[in-house]
Structure formats: structure tokens, C-alpha cells
Amino acid sequence: MMQNLFECKVKYEKIDEQSGKEKKVSETYLIDAVSFTEAESRIYKEMESMIRGEFVVTNIRKANYTEIFENEDGDIWYKSKVSFASVDEKSGKEKKVSNQILVLASNVKDAYDKIHQGMGGMTVDFDINAISESPILDFFPYFKGDEVNNDIPANLKPLAEVAERDESPVSDTETEEE
């Protein structure tokens, strides 16, 4: 499934751990959402649970990551540029295709290793052209792991229940009306 990823900048006042004074910070988060509107709604919801006091979303922009490799041992999001050769179907010529990959890792070497692990199933050779620390502090996927949105509105029924009802035998009166 293709993800729609949005980088959201959030500005708020936070207490500096070294000085103990309040300072204004601007932080970037990645949201998987259907639209800009949903991204804004979701970032507000996520930040309300994380930030005490006021905050403002100052920017939302589409992000162009083709893959995201999460890793529970990592604590820094690294942005990497990965390229591989592809054959243009029309001209038959080989061209270089580049993709942006986001990987959660402990350091650059760990990011490099995690990219190789994540891309391991690819049958195409690829090159890692760049790895750099990204400003992203956290990623909020649409679904976390196997979790599915269980908030079903009262006026809707699960598909399984509807399918069971549709398979029930049709009475003679229903057939005559059609």
C-alpha cells in the first residue's frame, strides 16, 4: 500500500534540560495520512498527548520517502538516498532511479546496515549515495504493526456481518419483485 507521508513542523515552548529555562523549539514529525487536512488533524491529536501547553503547527509538506525502516534499537531518523539501475520500457535504455529512504538507527553505520537488511530482498543491485541525519523526531504511521482502526461508527457494520446476511437464501417474494 502506498503511503502518503507528511512532514509536520510544530513550534512550542519547552524547558531546556541544561539551563532549566523555557525556550522556543521547532520540531519535525512524520505523519502517514490520506490528505493534508488529515495530517493536520492527526499531528494536533498526537502533540496534545505529548506537549503541555500551547503549540502551533507551522508547516505541513508532502514527504517523498519510498521506504521507512523502523528499528526499536534506533533513536535517530536518518534520510538516505538509494539509487539503482532501471530499464526504460519505451527506449530500452538503462537509467538511474533514486529513492529516499528513512531509517531509524543509532548512528550512520547502523543506518547503512539497516538499509542493507531492509533492501535485502531486492533482486536489483543498489547504491547508497548518501545518509544524513534528518530533522524528524518521530513517525506516526497510519496503523502501528497489526493494529487496525477499531473505532467503527455505530451506523456501520463489519463487512463479515454484511457478507453473512447476503448469503442467506432468497425467498420467493424477493425474487418476484426483482
* Per-10-residue mean pLDDT, the chain, length 178: 85 89 94 95 94 93 94 94 86 88 96 91 83 96 60 61 55 47
Q: Residue 153: its pLDDT value, please? A: 59
Nearest to 82 by CA among 65, 99, 105, 102: 99
Based on the fold, state whether residues 129 and 81 are members of the same structural domain.
yes
Based on the fold, state whether residues 89 and 43 are members of the same structural domain.
no
The residue written with cell numbers 463489519 in the block is 158
> The domain spanning residue 51 has which CATH number?
3.10.20.10
Total structural domains within the chain: 2
Based on the fold, state whether residues 32 and 69 are members of the same structural domain.
no
Asked if the structure places residue 150 within a domain, the reply is no
Q: Residue 176: its pLDDT value, please? A: 46
The residue written with cell numbers 451506523 in the block is 155
Q: Residue 119: its pLDDT value, please? A: 86
Based on the fold, state whether residues 59 and 91 are members of the same structural domain.
no
Based on the fold, state whether residues 121 and 100 are members of the same structural domain.
yes
Residue ranges making up the domain that contains 10: 1-63
Based on the fold, state whether residues 94 and 129 are members of the same structural domain.
yes
The answer to whether the beta carbons of residues 12 and 24 sit under 8 Å apart is yes
Based on the fold, state whether residues 54 and 102 are members of the same structural domain.
no
Q: Residue 162: its pLDDT value, please? A: 60
Based on the fold, state whether residues 93 and 33 are members of the same structural domain.
no
Pairing of strands 126-133, 76-87: antiparallel
Based on the fold, state whether residues 69 and 129 are members of the same structural domain.
yes
- For 83, residues 6+ apart whose C-beta sits below 8 A from its C-beta are 96, 97, 98, 99, 126, 127, 129
Asked if the structure places residue 171 within a domain, the reply is no
Asked if the structure places residue 14 within a domain, the reply is yes
